[in-house]
Amino acid sequence: MLIAALPKLDDRTRVCIQAGNVNTGAFDPAKEICARAQPAGAWVHVDGAFGLWAAASPRYAHLVEGFSLADSWAIDCHKWLNVPYDSGIAVVRAHGHLQNAMTMSAAYLQASDMREPCHFTPESSRRARGVELWAALRSLGRAGLAEIIERNCRFAKVFGQCLRQAGFEVLNEVVLNNEVVLNQVLISFGGDGDTRRVIAGVQEDGTCWCGGTQWRGRTAMRISVSSWATAQEDVERSLQQS
């Protein structure tokens, strides 16, 4: 998000910024955006589906600087934490916001003095997703989580470097010199048709799975390294295939 391109903001505005762009892994300038948005009464929401997990790694924590100023965050646990779908977390700054938005009432729902989870989630009935989340965090610990994040980011850089050396173009953010900042890599294999053919070939081959996307008017392969199980040899085999 470009600060200079922000329109006039007011108290009806919701500014949705990304910690970890879905294509490039890049982080919006949260501190500057909050400094513009919040005095105008605008709400700043962070889509941090995978990117906010960078906070768990001493090497990548600087990327999330300023995001704590936002009014709300959305984080997925089924991405970098690798727990089963559909484990998402909404975090709001001010106590009461979530409850005001989510509270359900009905004659058959008995009020009590206990904290009722259904006042904080969109669902009344749901499975115990929190157990998987707790177990993953408990078994990995901060160091284990940081290891997954740092290994995945290292492999993303390897993909970028090796494919660039092989003559292909890394399309990640131009303002960041097309460098790979997190775990996402965007590659063009020539024209859009060439890239589409490579994506189809990689998916057909099955050594790894990469999807396609559009980035600044061009077709790109989107490499997202986010599995706890991905090892160096998987990266090498995938590079050989592409």
Give the residues lining the site for ligand PLP (CB under 6 A). Answer: 20, 22, 47, 49-50, 76, 88
Report in angstroms how near the CB of residue 222 gets to ligand PLP at its nearest: 10
Report in angstroms how near the CB of residue 89 gets to ligand PLP at its nearest: 11
Q: Rank residues 47 and 173 by Cβ distance to ligand PLP and give the closer one.
A: 47
Report in angstroms how near the CB of residue 76 gets to ligand PLP at its nearest: 5
Instruction: Output the six-digit token pair for 138.
Output: 């408990």
For residue 10, is the peptide bond before it cis, meaning its omega torsion is within 30 degrees of 0? no
Report in angstroms how near the CB of residue 95 gets to ligand PLP at its nearest: 25
Q: Rank residues 28 and 71 by Cβ distance to ligand PLP and give the closer one.
A: 28
Among residues 17, 16, 12, the alpha carbon closest in space to that of 40 is found at 12
Angle at 15 between CA 9 and CA 16, to 5 degrees: 165
Residue partners of 162: CB distance under 8 A and separation at least 6: 239
With beta carbons less than 8 A apart as the criterion, state whether 88 and 76 touch.
Answer: yes
Q: Rank residues 88 and 130 by Cβ distance to ligand PLP and give the closer one.
A: 88
Report in angstroms how near the CB of residue 196 gets to ligand PLP at its nearest: 20
Residue 43: phi, psi to the nearest 5? -95, 130
Task: Please name the residue that has the structure tokens 């709001």.
Answer: 92
Residue nearest to ligand PLP (CB): 49
Q: Rank residues 42 and 83 by Cβ distance to ligand PLP and give the closer one.
A: 83
3-state secondary structure 69-134: HCCEEEEECCCCCCCCCCCEEEEECCCCHHHHHHCCCCCCCCCCCCCCHHHCCCCCCCCCHHHHHH
Tell me the Ramachandran region of residue 140: left when phi exceeds 0, alpha when psi lies from -120 to 50, beta otherwise: alpha
Q: Rank residues 89 and 98 by Cβ distance to ligand PLP and give the closer one.
A: 89
Report in angstroms how near the CB of residue 49 gets to ligand PLP at its nearest: 3
With beta carbons less than 8 A apart as the criterion, state whether 185 and 169 touch.
Answer: no
Report in angstroms how near the CB of residue 205 gets to ligand PLP at its nearest: 23
Q: Rank residues 40 and 176 by Cβ distance to ligand PLP and give the closer one.
A: 176
Task: Please name the residue that has the structure tokens 């993953």.
Answer: 136
Q: Rank residues 29 and 88 by Cβ distance to ligand PLP and give the closer one.
A: 88
